[in-house]
Amino acid sequence: MKIKAVIEKGSDNLFSIYSDNMIGDMGLGGFGSTVKEAKTDFEQVIQEALTEYAQQHNDTLPDDYQQITIHYQFEP
């Protein structure tokens, strides 16, 4: 699964990452005071979503959830 993740810097100088992609019925987003923190948060959310999805589906994940690639893009 390829995830397009958009990075934005808010007026409060904090960074947010969002994606239109979903895992199951879970949206994906992350936040942090630096881009690195926001990316780490975003990747943790993905892992949590995968874990929850697997628990709801007898510990199985579809093939496209087993290999995830994240493409980060800065929003001007």
Mean pLDDT of 56-76: 92
Residue 21 has pLDDT above 90, yes or no: yes
Q: Show Cβ contacts of residue 59 under 8 Å, excluding neighbours closer than 6 positions.
A: none
Mean pLDDT of 8-31: 97
Mind listing the pLDDT tens digit for each residue in 46-61? 999 999 999 999 988 9
Residue 39's Cβ-side half-sphere holds a number of Cα atoms within 13 Å equal to: 10
Query: What are the backbone dihedrals phi and psi of residue 36, each rounded to the nearest 5 degrees, phi first?
Result: -60, -45
| DSSP symbol at 35 | H
At residue 36, the pLDDT reads: 98
Q: Are 69 and 4 in contact (CB under 8 A)?
A: no
Domain boundaries, the chain: 2-74
At residue 76, the pLDDT reads: 75
Of 50, 42, 48, nearest in space to 67 by CA:
50
**Of 13-17, 36-40, 54-58, minimum mean pLDDT range:** 54-58
CATH class of the domain defined by 2-74: alpha beta
Q: Are 26 and 53 in contact (CB under 8 A)?
A: yes
